[in-house]
Amino acid sequence: MIPQQSHSQTAYEVVIGVEVHAQLRTQSKMFCGCGTTFGLSANSQTCPVCLGLPGSLPVINKAAVEMAVRAGLALNCRIGEHNRFARKHYFYPDLPKGYQISQYEAPICEQGWIDIAAGEASKRVRIKRAHLEEDAGKNIHGAGAGVSVVDFNRAGTPLLEIVTEPDMRSADEVVAYLRSLRDILMYLGVCDGNMEEGSFRCEPNLSLRPAGQQEFGTKVELKNINSFKFVKDAIDYEIKRQTKVLSQGGTIQQETRLWNLERGETAVMRSKEEAHDYRYFPDPDLIHLKLEREWIEGFQGGLPELPAIRADRFVEQYGLPEYDAAVLTATKDMADYFEAAIQLFNQPKTVSNWVMGELSRELKTSGTTVDRSPVSPHRLVNLLEMVEKGTISLKVARDIFPEMYRSGQAPEQIVQEKGLTQVSDEDALATIIDDILASNPAQVAQFKEGKQQVLGYLVGQAMKVSGGKANPGKVNELLKRKLG
Ligand SMILES: [Zn+2]
């Protein structure tokens, strides 16, 4: 992407890399037995290890290592057999030990990639590394007059930090990458993907360079972004800001900037540290973690069908358009819902339309996820079968769906209670049609003069009078007969 031309007519290219901190869905923390439940009362999930008390010793959580290996395999990474944990030193009140246990020289995953949708085409984003580390606690400011407090419940929670190469060139590509990555981790069940609760945090870093230049410009890291919309807004803002600075002859400072949601702009948080500022060294309290090659490879066969592959299969197996396949496989639960319905009612495109249309609309309005949908795949299929058999019209089906959703009732029950069964009986329809013809003499005359399109209007009128219950095929047929 080439952003705006500057006053001096220099065009800049934006170069973006992304760091993601994904919280792993383990039962216990990275180096101790404390729980990882979100939202419990402050400091209720702590022990001497995660509080950093003297004399306590960390122990590596095997489940976290397994999750990192599975994620690494799904991200096409090389899994390191020789793992070291390192201490990353910095001082902050939410970090009681004065260092964070992370991985530096020997990360568990390296040199992977994922393909993302970039406009019409797909683009490969390289993953430089993914390493295990522990989370810090949380400072809470303004808890009382002039007082800040610390909650260590989150301290020691396992994170997988996933770092890309600087391969992205626009905010849209970054969002596409983040969506794909989040989908993959959620499919694997290693991260719940909840951005508001901080389970999936993204920190883009970006720099500008004159178009055509190989050398990178100075990069700025963006923090405090907890939705895909804010990712896009923050990057677009930062591109404009840096373009302006550079085109006025200024220089960009290497720094970390926070996205300020209220003001819609980024502001300096701190100047960026270099790796040597952290004085990394191997943690002497932890063993050198050696993973057996067979143990690693054992996970390969157990990986679930990932979103991109499942989308391809939906196109191939069900003949769905690529758009439908991408929407339906965006989450595992949605794809599972679709396939459960298809097992019962083998009309993929019809089911896809209902899932992407009516069902998604209700889910969105009520803020519900598809795994909690009050309309099960079975119920949806009941409704589609009623249309298929001609018991109700498509219009009635669409009308009663919101009620099925709200009440949890079966479609048969709603149709029966409301008397919505489709009218296909010719005598009953003939009465309606005679009325329509009598009250629309002008249209009848136009039809007889050869204006075929008037027929659609008359069918519409008949449907309206019948409250959507008339069988439109039959109405069409009878109208033609009577007008003919
Ligand atoms: Zn603990």
Q: What is the pLDDT of residue 429?
A: 82
Both structure tokens of 345: 């009612």
**Per-residue pLDDT at 420:** 72
Buried-state track 325-337, b at ≥16 Cβ within 10 A, e below 16: bbbbbbbbebbbb
Residue 43 C-alpha to ligand 1 middle, in angstroms?
10
Measured CA to CA, the distance from residue 160 to residue 125 in angstroms comes to 18
484 touches 448 (CB < 8 A): no
The confidence score (pLDDT) of residue 275 equals 64
Cα(194)–Cα(182) distance, integer angstroms: 9
Q: From ligand 1's centre to the CA of 97, what distance in Å?
A: 13
d(CA 326, CA 452): 40
pLDDT of residue 9: 61
How far apart CA 306 and CA 330 sit, in angstroms, is 10
Report the separation in Å between the CA atom of 35 and the middle of ligand 1, taken as the mean of its atom positions.
8
How many angstroms does the Cα of residue 469 sit away from the middle of ligand 1?
64
Q: How far is the CA of 48 from the centre of ligand 1 (A)?
A: 6
How far does residue 288's CA lie from ligand 1's centre (Å)? 21
What single DSSP character describes residue 31?
A: S
pLDDT in tens, 394-451: 888 999 999 999 998 889 888 888 777 777 777 778 888 888 888 888 888 888 888 8
The predicted pLDDT at position 136 comes to 94
One DSSP character per residue, 355-382 reads IIIIIHHHHHHHT--GGG-SS-HHHHHH
Q: What is the pLDDT of residues 323-334, one digit of tens each?
A: 899 889 888 889
The rounded Å distance from CA 36 to ligand 1 centre is 10
103 Cα–ligand 1 center, Å: 20
Distance (angstroms) between ligand 1 centre and the Cα of 44 equals 10
Nearest to residue 443, comparing CAs of 430, 456, 427? 456
Q: How many Cα neighbours within 13 Å face the side chain of 421?
A: 10
Contacts of 414 (CB under 8 A, 6+ apart): 400, 403, 404, 407, 420
Position 369 scores a pLDDT of 84
Q: What is the pLDDT of residue 272?
A: 64
d(CA 34, CA 53): 15
37 Cα to the center of ligand 1, angstroms: 12
Residues of the chain with pLDDT under 50: 5-7
Residue with tokens 């993302």: 116
- Residue 261 tokens read as 């949601």
The Å distance, Cα 68 to ligand 1 centre, comes to: 20
d(CA 105, CA 80): 11
Q: How far is the CA of 34 from the centre of ligand 1 (A)?
A: 4
What spacing in Å lies between the alpha carbon of 186 and ligand 1's midpoint?
25
